[in-house]
Amino acid sequence: MKLPKLSVLKEKVEPLGKVEVSPKLQEVSAFFSIVRKEFTDYILSWRIIILLAIIALTSLGSLYTAISTIKDTLSQSSDAQEIAKSSYLFLKLFTVSDGTLPPFITFVTFLGPLLGISLGFDAINSERNKGTLSRLMAQPIPRDYVLNAKFVAALLINIVLFFTLGFLVMGLGILIIGIPPSFEEFMRIIYFLILCIAYISFWLNLGILFSVQFKQAATSALSGIAVWIFFSLFYSMIINVITKGIMTSESLTSTEDYLSKQGFILNLMRLSPNYLFSESTTTLLSPSVRSLGPLTMEQTAGAVAGPLPLSQSLLLIWPQLTGLIAATLICFAISYILFMRQEIRTN
């Protein structure tokens, strides 16, 4: 059988004269084809479905404990309700718990990296191992589109997931407690969700970096999980050991000395993305947090005890946020360079 030429087909389908698509536009449409395909792959893969289910369940669980704590407090006295309205009660949905389950933010700090890593760890090496990378590369698309599109698709998953979860928690919160959030509370939650996405993007990019560097998906997954466990469990232990070493009562001679050592340890802590994230979320969701470093008595003297406005809270976490984004970009840049220089062939 003779195959009709593409041009003949084109005329058949578009008899009114074919529209010449510019190569640039063609490339953009190709980019979104990859994004669409990757997105579909993610939401159809068991790995992601299971993780999403776990995250959704834990957030609902923590929402439940938060709501029951808040309800208990509110029912204790009628004054409590009045106080609650003026003290950002709504934000407590994300931060308090009765001790049976950790609050929402703890879950995100803990499970977010796992989600990020699982979205990214086999981005490139699975294509390579399945032999689809060379086929993909033979199509008229720039090489970086593959990496960029995979990142964009995973980011989209994150955005959809976190906004869904955030709004779900808010909606249920309004229904059950019956107190609507103020505009500022709403904005704080939105910023919190954006922060979650930035935090997970970091882990996602770390996963992508490992997927470019390691040829085996298992190696890259294990490396990602190792980094995650290191930062969520061991890093704080190491810092504790260092603290014990340098903060002995003999070595501390003056307040300045104490402050500088405390600052040093704090900076060490801040090398961990988990710490940066928990600092920023605490600040955003608890407006009463005024500073992230140590404060002396002189500094607090005369300060009016009260919550910070949103703009001030944002200002406070600005360094943390830029630090997180910078770490994300560095991971992405390294994987980008590695990928652009890599040989396409498998062997």
Partner 1 sequence: MEEPIIELEGLTKNYDGHPAVDQLSLTIRKGEIFGLLGPNGAGKSTSILMMLGLSEPTSGMVTVCGLNSTRNPLDVKRRVGYLPDDLGFYQQMTGLENLLYTASLNGIPKKIADERAHDLLKQVGLSDAADKKTGKYSRGMKQRLGLADVLIKDPEVIILDEPTLGIDPEGVRELLHLIKQLNEQQNITVLLSSHQLHQVQQVCDRVGIFVRGKLLAEGNLDSLAKQLFFKDSYVVSVEATPISEALIEAINQLSEVNRVEHITNTKLDIYCQSDITPVIAQKMLEHSASIYHISKKNYGLDEIYHRYFEGRESIETT
Q: What is the DSSP letter of 18?
A: P
Shortest reach from residue 62's CB to partner 1, in Å: 33
Shortest reach from residue 30's CB to partner 1, in Å: 5
Q: Spell out the alpha helix ranges (H) of 214-309.
A: 217-229, 235-246, 255-269, 273-285, 297-300
Residue 290 CA to residue 212 CA, distance in Å, equals 41
Q: Kindly tell me which of 4 and 245 has the beta carbon lying closer to partner 1.
A: 4
Using alpha carbons, select from 150, 147, 192, 181 the residue that is nearest to residue 333: 147
Binding site for partner 1 (CB under 8 A): 1-7, 9-10, 12-13, 21, 23, 25-27, 29-30, 33-34, 37, 41, 44-45, 130-132, 134-142, 343-347
174: tokens are 């309004």
User: How many angstroms separate the Cα of 286 from the Cα of each of 184, 274, 322?
Assistant: 12, 18, 20
Q: What is the DSSP letter of 347?
A: -
Give the amino acid at 186.
Answer: F
Q: Kindly tell me which of 40 and 164 has the beta carbon lying closer to partner 1.
A: 40
Q: Kindly tell me which of 26 and 291 has the beta carbon lying closer to partner 1.
A: 26
Alpha carbon 37 to chain centroid, angstroms: 22
Q: Kindly tell me which of 78 and 347 has the beta carbon lying closer to partner 1.
A: 347
R_g (Cα) of the chain, nearest Å = 25
Shortest reach from residue 149's CB to partner 1, in Å: 10
Torsion of CA 276, 263, 233, 338, to 10 degrees: 60
Residue 303 CA to residue 312 CA, distance in Å, equals 15
Query: 199 with 321: CB under 8 angstroms?
Result: no
Shortest reach from residue 157's CB to partner 1, in Å: 17
Q: Kindly tell me which of 23 and 99 has the beta carbon lying closer to partner 1.
A: 23
> Roughly how many angstroms between the first and final C-alpha of the chain, as a whole number?
38
Q: Kindly tell me which of 1 and 237 has the beta carbon lying closer to partner 1.
A: 1
Q: Kindly tell me which of 46 and 183 has the beta carbon lying closer to partner 1.
A: 46
H or E stretch at 324: helix 310-341
